[in-house]
Amino acid sequence: AQSVTQLGSHVSVSEGALVLLRCNYSSSVPPYLFWYVQYPNQGLQLLLKYTSAATLVKGINGFEAEFKKSETSFHLTKPSAHMSDAAEYFCAAGTGGGNKLTFGTGTQLKVEL
């Protein structure tokens, strides 16, 4: 079964610093991969997705992620953190055979002045 691991349930960065949120998946077949952001008491907003095209994926709000098959990773980065980036981030994987998504446990990003 597919599993998604997000290392670090809490990440804290200074405003203007690099954001790096880690995600690893377990699958012999490269899945579809997604990063979502969730603000308190809200649903999930899609940041970006990997669907077997370019390995470097650019998303909204300056985020990007790189698919590395050899490392089974899909880490999310942003060059310069903004206070508004403080939220919960979820990595998710979907397999081509169906619609189901498997979510990681989430990473709470805190941005400090």
Partner 1 sequence: GAVVSQHPSWVICKSGTSVKIECRSLDFQATTMFWYRQFPKQSLMLMATSNEGSKATYEQGVEKDKFLINHASLTLSTLTVTSAHPEDSSFYICSATGGDRASYEQYFGPGTRLTVT
**Contact footprint for partner 1 (CB under 8 A):** 32, 36, 41-46, 49, 51, 90, 94, 96, 98-101, 103-106
User: Which of residues 53 and 56 has its CB atom nearest to partner 1 in the complex?
Assistant: 53
**Smallest distance, partner 1 to C-beta of residue 50, A:** 11
Buried b (16+ CB within 10 A) or exposed e, 21-52: bbbbbeeeebbebbbbbeeeeeebeebbbbee
User: Which of residues 41 and 113 has its CB atom nearest to partner 1 in the complex?
Assistant: 41
**Smallest distance, partner 1 to C-beta of residue 5, A:** 11
**Smallest distance, partner 1 to C-beta of residue 9, A:** 9
End-to-end CA distance of the chain: 41
Alpha helix (H) residue ranges in the chain? none
**Smallest distance, partner 1 to C-beta of residue 43, A:** 4
SS3 content of the chain, % helix, strand, coil (to 5): 10, 50, 40
User: Which of residues 14 and 45 has its CB atom nearest to partner 1 in the complex?
Assistant: 45
